[in-house]
A and B are shown apart, each in its own frame.
Chain A
């Protein structure tokens, strides 16, 4: 028997979900949390994939696009339910549970909102164990499952159903998201609970509930370990103009240079593409994707996103180890450096 995520637990889940969350936006986070509070009612049941009937249809829920856009263009409120219902119509079957694609801030809360709206349980786990920018970069895909058919609901009543080979989802999705105004809620990776049990990164919702408890150490939010690369001050942030590189990624590359404050006073260079994918200390690679590299503000303790990095900011650079499946050859191909256009 699972546990129930009620209002109190929601507070812990949301706090835990921000510990290493990148690409989040205060405004979008606050509105998603308020939204979740308003729909959670008596709570959402949390079950493991193994506890659900193996034949149960599970769908993965995620916010797609820009959280800045979500903070500006508010949801109508029915997007998660509308996306799931569209997928159900296509499949001719009701969803019996929802599962997160990843658990970074808003993306931990939107599946919970979907579960509350649909009256189904939330699966304890997610499809990354960390966050990747593409819908295809999941342990579900590594396990051979397709994100499609995928239903995307927008804030102005839009609904699009994508039916395509799995490796073309991102390419088709991006212009649709843009035409929606910059964000949408996707219901994707339809699969049975039996399949999900095989491919899910298990237990990560419970993990964040523990990590969000008052006084819990930051490391509690890292299922496979975390280390500090350096503490220092940002010296420079350099943006690229894109130089025409043919990369299937929704942003331009940039570099952040951090001067270590003590010890060897190394120059740590962070190469970013939406997120930091490679860290070089005095020129030598010291951390890289698929592990997650993030900057934590020394002052506020919050994650500093690449697009908010400013010279002078004091940060701690931390490396969150990815789930073991990401360190296999197939995992490296999908979520390693090459996937970010850095053939190191």
Chain B
């Protein structure tokens, strides 16, 4: 039996799904015997933590600086152009000073050019981990999308949701000891609890996505039941988005293979059985007005659960 959970106030709604047929309500003992549990939850309105945002790049107009609300933000020199050239050496000392002095534990790191080359984000992460033991660090390249400000916004929101996501995962583990727990993604699919803990933004609209799926499958049932059912029928899914440079077909094939390998690795960490991971879709678009074979690559991988 698979347990679908709609995480709504005041009490979560549980639906048991066996052979595609939903049953509810579900008692605690039955819930704890589930093969797995899939949670539908929307993260909007959840408490957010103040975030320390580190942008790696050049100076910019005030209006384009990082937006962190009650957190803290800095811009340090470094980053790469979309063609992969280093704009400036990473100002490691500025990173160290900010990390040590900001007094926060949730970090969002966004480097110029990271969809192309993430070296500076990784270097910042290493410095922050050394300075702030236990820091939770979100790197923007994990979200991939080009457009520095949008990617930074995603990284900051992911970092802000980290603590609350961890609390939800811990609570689910207490309520359902020994039951593997998955969370519905925005769009389609589910991810493992450990993936959700690290990338909660992936599931920002997981509740709405589950509801949409559930209502198609079960018209006429209460919303919460439809959402719980919609989550229960999801499969692990993960995406990778990158900008790559390739001269000629052979090189493009090679970098595409790298992106696919990364998507496969990622879907396994999102809870797919290693043998089941497969590429669902690869999209390659050349970038206009930029010569020398620059492409935007998007790969979706999916798999099945144990």
B82 pairs with A181, CB closer than 8 A: yes
Q: Does B122 sit within 8 A of A, measured CB to CB? A: no
Given A35-B63, A37-B63, A181-B83: A74 in contact with B149 (beta carbons within 8 A): yes
> Which residues of A are found within 8 Å of B289, using beta-carbon distances?
23, 65-68, 133, 182, 250-251, 274
Interfacial residues of chain B within 39-80, with CB under 8 A of chain A in the complex: 57-64, 79
> Which residues of B are found within 8 Å of A178, using beta-carbon distances?
83, 290-292
Contact of A251 among B59, B82, B288 (CB under 8 A): B288
Q: How far is the CA of A174 from the CA of B290 in the complex (A)?
A: 9
Q: How far is the CA of A250 from the CA of B290 in the complex (A)?
A: 6
Minimum distance in angstroms from B76 CB to a CB of chain A: 14
Closest residue of chain B to A174, judged by CB?
B291
Q: How far is the CA of A74 from the CA of B58 in the complex (A)?
A: 8
> Which residues of A are found within 8 Å of B11, using beta-carbon distances?
none
Q: Does B28 sit within 8 A of A, measured CB to CB? A: no
> Which residues of B are found within 8 Å of A72, using beta-carbon distances?
81-82, 112-113, 115, 146-148
Contact of A250 among B58, B113, B291 (CB under 8 A): B291
Interfacial residues of chain B within 247-306, with CB under 8 A of chain A in the complex: 248-249, 283, 285-292, 296
Q: Does B175 sit within 8 A of A, measured CB to CB? A: no
Minimum distance in angstroms from A66 CB to a CB of chain B: 4
B291 pairs with A73, CB closer than 8 A: no
Given A66-B287, A68-B287, A307-B286: A74 in contact with B60 (beta carbons within 8 A): yes
A156 pairs with B87, CB closer than 8 A: yes
Contact of A73 among B79, B283, B288, B290 (CB under 8 A): B79
B285 pairs with A73, CB closer than 8 A: no
Q: Does B23 sit within 8 A of A, measured CB to CB? A: no
Q: SS class of chain B's interface: helix, strand, loop or mixed?
A: loop
Q: Does B35 sit within 8 A of A, measured CB to CB? A: no
B82 pairs with A68, CB closer than 8 A: yes
Q: How far is the CA of A71 from the CA of B63 in the complex (A)?
A: 14
B288 pairs with A182, CB closer than 8 A: no
A-contact bits for B197-241, CB 8 A (1 contact / 0 none): 000000000000000000000000000000000000000000000
> Which residues of B are found within 8 Å of A74, using beta-carbon distances?
57-58, 60, 64, 112, 148-149
Q: How far is the CA of A306 from the CA of B286 in the complex (A)?
A: 9
Q: How far is the CA of A191 from the CA of B10 in the complex (A)?
A: 70
Closest residue of chain B to A30, judged by CB?
B149
Given A182-B83, A241-B249: A75 in contact with B288 (beta carbons within 8 A): no
Closest residue of chain A to B59, judged by CB?
A76
Given A25-B147, A68-B287, A241-B249: A181 in contact with B85 (beta carbons within 8 A): yes
Interface residues of B (CB under 8 A from A): 57-64, 79, 81-83, 85, 87-88, 112-113, 115, 146-150, 248-249, 283, 285-292, 296
* Interface pairs (13), CB distance under 8 Å: A23-B288, A27-B146, A27-B147, A35-B64, A37-B63, A72-B113, A74-B57, A74-B148, A77-B60, A182-B82, A250-B288, A274-B289, A307-B285
